[in-house]
Amino acid sequence: RDFNERCAQCSEVNWGLTDGGGFYCRSCHNVIERTREVVNTDFITNSRVQTISKGSKKQEKNEGGCEWYVCEGFQLVLKKQVEALEALGVHPQMKDEILCNFWRCYLQKSKQAYCKRPAAEAVKALSVCESSTDVDSDPERPSLLDLLSLSESEGDLQTDCSFASSVSKVSESTSVCSGSVDGSLYLMKNQKEKLRMTMPMTLSFCYMALLWMREPITLSEFLRFVVEGHIPYLNVFQHFPEKMKLCGLDLKIFCVESWPVYEEVFNKMHELAAFLDLPRFPDITESCFLHPDMLCMKYLMEANLPDELHNWTCRVVKKIGIGEVDFLTLTPGNKSTGRVKYDVLAAAVIVVVLKLLFLLDDHYEWLLSEFAEERNKNNTEGGPYFEFKRWYEVVKHSLDVKQKKLDEERAKYLWRCEKPLFYSINKKSKVLKRRQMVVNLQNQFGKLSGSVQRAEKPNPSSFQLSWSEENTDGSCFHGHSLKGVLQEKRGFLTPVNPDYWLCTVKLCNERLCGHLAHYREVEFPQTYHFVLGLFSFLLRIQPSCIHEEVCMIEHKLFNKKLYKKLKYNTVLRK
């Protein structure tokens, strides 16, 4: 009561004493070095006890656990994910300088940390802090936000006292079980207004940092690494410290029982960038891996298509201006610029080029293939002509094998985590013994049934389909020529095919129906569907997503002709 100095963190005079005689601020939980040196024994014997320490009871209640907040759990998840990305070769700067600052900015914007208390809640928070005993004032317990900090360059985290105090009040009054302090409050409806953190949003944070660093990892590749287990996401809570008890609503927050969805992670990333008021991202130039020319080269190699197609993809990119820096660079909050899906855009460009050269109407591509086959029989000089039919057979066989293996792995995936969860120290030995018994029974039944034991995780690779020109069976088409489908006209190579069919004549209103175009397999040629399915497998997205991007590129490529046709049809109707 005699100590009237203001707190260095929140500038308030609201001091309390710990069991060890140390001073701490009841408003912001800031602990100072000052201790109470002189104790008046007469005053203690003649006065009422104001506070009762509940340290032992709390320890008994939590059974060896410690108090922790949901944001601390998400920070641990982000820490594990960025460390896994560093192990894959991402620059260490992403953890300490980029993702750490994004996370701190989010905590400040959502008023969970690094901010002053709202004036309207100051009185309420103060009353809650005074009435509470030792719920939020254990200075001897280091904060998990300090222990698990993404960057150790700054000091302690200044938490929002009003948020923490209201959390304690709600958690004490509610009957819902939760290991975290604010688990029940976190799922309340009023928290949705602050862009509430979720497990898919951890992936959005990581992808946003990757995009800022311009790392050579696309979103589809990043999500594939997540599904393959190279980046912690599914059952990531099993890596939490043993003192962080998870139960009830915590499992609803951190337990994931579905594969990450491309669209959800992508949209949340843009919402986050706008919510954090981030500036314009670093420019995506021609030398950047995310540029369409670079990605087209990668996907042409993986799809086992001729190298000469890259010249045509570059021509299409330059023609419609989707390789410009302003088009590719993300500017948060700017609605005039589109949201670029770099990997989907590159795949759609390749599909458009294949339609330009081979038409993909279930008829013309087979005629060109027969012509190339006849020329290859009599061809003794130069590289072989590209046979679309032969390419289709080779790629389809490899794709079916990979797709079947992927489906089996997903069907056999065990959603239950390997590390058993127990919420009582007394039951720990019983749970571990039961888990060991289950593992032994599984191994015995596996030996009896002859099932193959799960092999170790293979090293991550950017290519899912690999083709070598050294193969003598002719299964690699990288060096094949496009002479059979091109002709020289006025000094330029042009397609022999003069026709082109559009996926849609008029794009839909994206604001009304949510899509620019709709894809129904029965309405399109099977060859076109096969090409979409190939890139759908490589990017692990729905074919409709690539189809929508194809429609957008076609309307940019044939904008003038479409405008004249629509204008002519309008005149005829009049």
pTM (two decimals): 0.77
Distance (Å, whole) CA 293 – CA 282: 18
Q: At what angle do helices 219-227 and 342-358 cross, to 10 degrees?
A: 110
- C-alpha 345: how far from chain center: 18
Residue linked to tokens 């940092």: 209
Q: Can you list the residues of the chain whose pLDDT is less than 50?
A: 38-61, 118-149, 151-175, 566-574
Structure confidence at residue 445 (pLDDT): 75
pLDDT score recorded for residue 202: 96
Position 85, amino acid: L
Q: Domain spans of the chain?
A: 1-36, 68-114+195-278, 308-379+387-403+479-558
Give the pLDDT score at 88.
92
User: With contact defined as beta carbons under 8 Å apart, do 181 and 29 qualify?
Assistant: no
Q: What is the per-residue DSSP string for 374-402?
A: HHHHH--SSSPBP-HHHHHHHHHHHHHHH
What is the pLDDT at residue 156? 38
3-state helix/strand/coil string of 141-208: CCCHHHHCCCCCCCCCCCECHHHHHHHHHHHHHCCCCECCCCHHHHCCHHHHHHCCCCHHHHHHHHHH
